[in-house]
Amino acid sequence: MPNRHAEITRTTKETEIRLELDLDGTGQAKIETGIGFLDHMLEGFARHASCDLMVRCKGDLHVDDHHSTEDVGICLGMAIDKALGNRSGIRRYGHAILPMDEALVLCAIDLGGRPYFAWEAAMPTPKVGTFDTELVPEFWRSVATLGRMNLHVKVLAGSNTHHVIEAIFKGLARALRDAWEADPRCGGVPSTKGSL
């Protein structure tokens, strides 16, 4: 497969972001968003997706974490889309049912090129530390839309909000890893239409 690497730079009045992604990495991460909890989640994501991820974000954190979180999701989605190219030779689909202590999460991905976002993941608490948990679906909606993927999350169990969110990030990492991996039996684009 060709080099599946992408670099994204995005500057607005609210955020300044530089993101690098290598889908065929080894799980290395250098994350600096200014939001400790998001950094922790993205480090776990890179590790479990087996991708290399570098993120530097300077955002208007004096307002709140919303713009930085959402815009990092936008950049990650853009990078996934760019790194996949025409999506030839990938498995396309991936899923995971991931446990983390009392939390259990179902995650499913289709990298078929049509964005769709389904979220059944009520958070047990509105915050983890200072992080607003309502930002988790905002992040993943951005990834799904700009990454042109069908993304489903359903929380099956969980009472600890940190565990629930971490299970979502790790579950989606595993699902994406399966979906973007090379399929040795696929002779091209994984669609009867001939393109994605």
Q: pLDDT tens digits, residue range 35-53?
A: 999 999 999 999 999 999 9
Strands 93-100 and 15-22: unpaired
Residue 187 lies in a domain: no
Residue 196 placed within a domain: no
CATH code for the domain of 151: 3.30.230.40
Does some domain include residue 189? no
pLDDT band at residue 192 under the 50/70/90 scheme: low
Number of domains in the chain: 1
pLDDT at 95 over 70: yes
Is the residue at 192 inside a domain? no
Between CA 6 and CA 76 the distance in angstroms is: 10
Question: Which domain, by its residues, includes 29?
Answer: 5-180
In a domain, 79, yes or no: yes
Beta-bridged to residue 194, according to DSSP, are none
DSSP strands (E only) in the chain: 5-11, 15-22, 29-32, 52-59, 93-100, 103-110, 116-120, 127-128, 131-132, 150-157
Supply the pLDDT for residue 184: 83
Task: Write the CB contacts of 13 (distance below 8 Å, at least 6 apart in sequence).
Answer: none
Query: Residue 85 domain-assigned?
Result: yes
Q: What is the pLDDT of residue 193?
A: 67
Predicted local confidence at residue 169, as pLDDT: 98
pLDDT tens by residue, 122-176:
999 999 999 999 999 999 999 999 999 999 999 999 999 999 999 999 999 999 9
Q: Confirm whether 15 is domain-assigned.
A: yes
> For all residues of the chain together, what is the average pLDDT?
95
Percent of the chain residues past pLDDT 70, beyond the cut: 95
Task: Assign 190 a pLDDT band (cuts: 50, 70, 90).
Answer: low
User: Would 168 be classed as within a structural domain?
Assistant: yes
